[in-house]
Each structure stands twice: as C-alpha cells, then as structure tokens.
Amino acid sequence: MPASISDIRLLLKVRSLPRTTDVRRVFITGGTGYLGSSLIPILLERGHRVRALVRPNSKGKVTVGCEVVSGDPLDANSYRNLIRPADTFIHLVGAPRPSPSKGEQFRVVDLVSAREAINVAAELGMQHFIYLSVAHPAPMMKSFIAVRTECEQMIHQQPLNATILRPWYVLGPGHRWPYALLPFYKVMEWLPFTRRGARRWGLVTLEQMVLALVEAVESPVQGVRVVEVPEIRAAHLNLAREVTRQSV
C-alpha cells in the first residue's frame, strides 16, 4: 500500500472517483521508480491486474498485490515470454533525475529500453502501449529531448495503438525545487508571446501524472494519442468523465 503522505492523499482522491468496470491487464517496466512506485498501488486499487518487470535485486520494492517478474529491460529477450496475458504495456524506464550531464545514460538506458519495449509490444500485438516522453520543443535538456523524440518516432513506425505523455517536470517528494519557479511560470502564462511555451513546459504534480497514466490505461486508443501538460493536469476530470461514459 502507499506509504508516503503524497501517496495516501492520492489514494484517497482515487477512491472518490467512479470506478471502471473495464479491468485491464497491465505489464509495466520501471515499476520501482519515482512514478511507477506510486502508480502501481493506484492501478491495483482501481481493480486492474498488474505485472511488473524488475531486476532480481529489486523484487522487494514492489507493492504487495502486484505480480513480479524478473528480467532486463534493456534486452527484450529476457522478458518477451513474461508479458502475456497483458493487454496494456506501460514503459517508464529511464535514467533517474534527468539532467544535462546524463546524455550518455539517456542513450544507453532510455533509448535502448524504449526500443526493446516498443519492438516487443508491436511483435506481440499489444492492444495499448503507453510511453512517458517529455514536453518539446524546449530550449534546454536537448539530449534528453532528442532521445525521447527518437523513441516517439519508433512508436509511429510500428503498428501500435499508443498513448504518449509529455510532462516537463513532475513535482513530488524529493522533486520540489522547481516550486520556486511558479511565479515565473505565472508571468509567462500571462504574456501572450510566452503563453504557449509556458503551458507546454508547465509543472505537473506527481498526483496529476499518476492520474494521467491511470486515465491512459482506462482509455485505450486507436492510433497514437499525445497527451500534453494541460491534459495531464486535467486527468482527474477526464478520468471521471470516461468512467461515467462507460457506465451509461
């Protein structure tokens, strides 16, 4: 179960939302990371079946109730036979705490893991592939954006139904320093010539990001859907509307 104050608050919010009747079988990579560790308990709370790919030494980090399988996310051959019967594949693997100094890690970890995940998802005919990208274009973090953009292109080249989410920075425990920039963002959103960029690079909370991922799971698409920052921020409203629509 969620342990932090942030996760408990998120769990309480999720319990106030209508519950879907469309249970998904979810396979997730990166389930022990910053986002994955908060997402898995919420998916389980919503009634979804979750199987997480982790390295052998990380099995104890996964939420109780989630099925755990071991494999190397940089080599699809190590987990190809572990994905089924999932219908939804969420890929969250990436270098922790991205910064301009991690250009090589982005190519060795982010790019390789995404390539393997995308290829095996297409090979197995997954109903829905969910990929965490980044807002772009942007005047900074160019190597990070270049890798994530390349991964998006791989998705478009495959016969995949996919949701691509593009946050800029996800605020949460241990990731709070950008709060000091909020007044700056407000000014940029107010000025007409900077408004568009400010909205694209806007900050989202961990709660908003997790709910956006849940919405993606519960709203599979045909083709490729791109979810930008304004939609991520509104995910809780979209989630409630979608569940209501399903129940009509």
Inter-residue long-range contacts of 177-184, CB under 8 Å, 24+ positions, other chains counted: 178/203, 179/203
Q: pLDDT at position 63, please?
A: 83
Dig out the tokens for 68 from the structure.
């755990």
CA dist., res. 104 & res. 68, Å (int): 29
Q: Indicate the helix (H) or strand (E) that contains 237.
A: helix 235-247
For residues 103 and 4, which has the higher predicted lDDT (pLDDT)? 103
pLDDT above 70 covers a percentage of the chain that reads 81
Dig out the tokens for 179 from the structure.
């709060």
Q: pLDDT at position 180, please?
A: 58
The whole-number average pLDDT for the span 231-235 is 90
CA dist., res. 98 & res. 106, Å (int): 8
The whole-number average pLDDT for the span 109-130 is 97
Dig out the tokens for 188 from the structure.
């940029």
CA dist., res. 219 & res. 84, Å (int): 20
Smallest CA-to-CA distance from 131 within 89, 170, 91, 96 is with 91
Query: pTM for this structure?
Result: 0.87
Q: Cβ distance 214 to 235 under 8 Å?
A: yes
Q: Cβ distance 168 to 134 under 8 Å?
A: yes
Please tell me which of 6-10, 95-99, 149-153, 179-183 the model is most confident about, judged by mean pLDDT: 149-153
Smallest CA-to-CA distance from 165 within 118, 129, 195 is with 129
Q: What burial class does residue 80 get, using C-beta atoms within 10 Å of its C-beta: 0-12 exposed, 13-18 middle, 19+ buried? A: middle
Helix, strand and coil percent figures for the chain, each rounded to 5: 50, 15, 35
Please tell me which of 29-38, 119-128, 139-148, 203-212 the model is most confident about, judged by mean pLDDT: 119-128
The whole-number average pLDDT for the span 3-32 is 79
CA dist., res. 12 & res. 169, Å (int): 24
Q: pLDDT at position 1, please?
A: 44
SS3 10: helix
CA dist., res. 124 & res. 80, Å (int): 9
CA dist., res. 73 & res. 84, Å (int): 16
For residues 152 and 58, which has the higher predicted lDDT (pLDDT)? 152
CA dist., res. 124 & res. 14, Å (int): 31
Supply the mean pLDDT for the chain.
Answer: 86
DSSP code of residue 18: P
Q: What burial class does residue 180 get, using C-beta atoms within 10 Å of its C-beta: 0-12 exposed, 13-18 middle, 19+ buried? A: exposed
